[in-house]
Amino acid sequence: MPFLAAGLKGTYQGLTATVLKQGSNQAIRFFVMTSLKNWYKGDDPNKVINPFVTGVFGALAGAASVFGNTPLDVVKTRMQ
């Protein structure tokens, strides 16, 4: 059992790096998604966005978060 061998310290090794990685991941994702939706709506905040377009925006936001977060993910993984 790795938990018993490493103790509590071993369980939480890399916690700070994981929190930073996940936080920056979500920050990038939400920023890109919100920016794309605002760009699409332009001057009309009540404009309805087609679900397919929302899906494309979500895919772009997800890709941006992966590409923008890879360096921190590598550091986190090596720390653990």
Question: What secondary structure does DSSP assign to the chain, as a single string?
Answer: -HHHHHHHHHHTTTHHHHHHHHHHHHHHHHHHHHHHHHHHHTT-TTPPPPHHHHHHHHHHHHHHHHHHHHHHHHHHHHH-
Residue 3 is assigned to a structural domain of this protein = no
Domain of 72, in residue numbers: 8-79
Give me the pLDDT at residue 8, please: 76
Give me the pLDDT at residue 71, please: 85
Sequential pLDDT tens for the chain (80 residues):
555 666 777 777 778 888 888 999 999 999 999 999 999 999 999 999 999 999 999 999 999 999 998 888 888 778 76
Residue 2 is assigned to a structural domain of this protein = no
Task: Indicate the pTM of the whole model.
Answer: 0.77
Give me the pLDDT at residue 79, please: 73
Residue 50 is assigned to a structural domain of this protein = yes
Residue 25 is assigned to a structural domain of this protein = yes
Give me the pLDDT at residue 4, please: 60
Question: How many C-beta atoms lie closer than 10 Å to residue 28's C-beta?
Answer: 18
What is the number of structural domains in the chain?
1
